Chains A and B, each alone.
Chain A
Amino acid sequence: KQEVTQIPAALSVPEGENLVLNCSFTDSAIYNLQWFRQDPGKGLTSLLLIQSSQREQTSGRLNASLDKSSGRSTLYIAASQPGDSATYLCAVLYGNKLVFGAGTILRVKS
């Protein structure tokens, strides 16, 4: 069964701290992996997409890594800001089916 797990479920950090969100998946035959941001009452915003042949992607203060063999991905957020507070979702694309993790609720305190 293709499952995606995210740890931790929730995280609260002071402003300025660097942090890591974790995602693991059971089936390594992935097409790609995406990290999304979900704000309350709003849709999802795609943050980073890593193809199965890639190891990492970077955008601004965000860096996502992918280790297919171990079934893991991490999202690194540098110098966190209160505006980063949101739910972060990891999703793995298998063929044409996207399987989501339950998300990590991040709160950055000012």
Chain B
Amino acid sequence: GAVVSQHPSRVICKSGTSVKIECRSLDFQATTMFWYRQFPKQSLMLMATSNEGSKATYEQGVEKDKFLINHASLTLSTLTVTSAHPEDSSFYICSAPGQNEKLFFGSGTQLSVL
């Protein structure tokens, strides 16, 4: 089946720094990728939809200047958490639609901001 590779799997950073998370579709092209955030014991929440070659679409309440999304190619989308703060600590995960409308997910990134 389709594979989505997400890196890094875990990152610890100091408050105020920026963190970039990469998501690659390894054996298929993804014109669209979805970025989710999950706080402990809560649902996955859609943050934004990245579209290859155009601007990302952000969900209500998600700051586009804080969570920068770039979808420069059909196989790569990146999420950069700028000036991270402890409240940004969360599990971030990407997904891309494959064949038969199934969504394929990356392995997720656990971000801890000290």
Residues of A within 8 A of B (CB): 4, 32, 34, 36, 41-46, 49, 89, 91, 93, 96-103
Classify chain B's interface size: 20 to 34
When distances are taken between beta carbons in the complex, the residues of chain B under 8 Å from A99 are: 43, 46
Binding site for A on B (CB under 8 A): 4, 6, 9, 34, 36, 41-46, 49, 93, 95, 100-108, 110
Q: Provide the main secondary structure of the chain B interface.
A: strand
Total number of A-B contacts with CB less than 8 angstroms? 51
Q: Which residues of B contact A49 (CB under 8 A)?
A: 100-102
Cα distance A46–B103 in the bound complex, in angstroms: 7
Task: Verify B107–A42 contact, CB threshold 8 A.
Answer: yes
Q: A96-B49, A97-B46, A100-B44 are in contact. Are A43 and B108 (CB under 8 A)?
A: yes
Bound-complex Cα distance A41 to B93 (A):
11
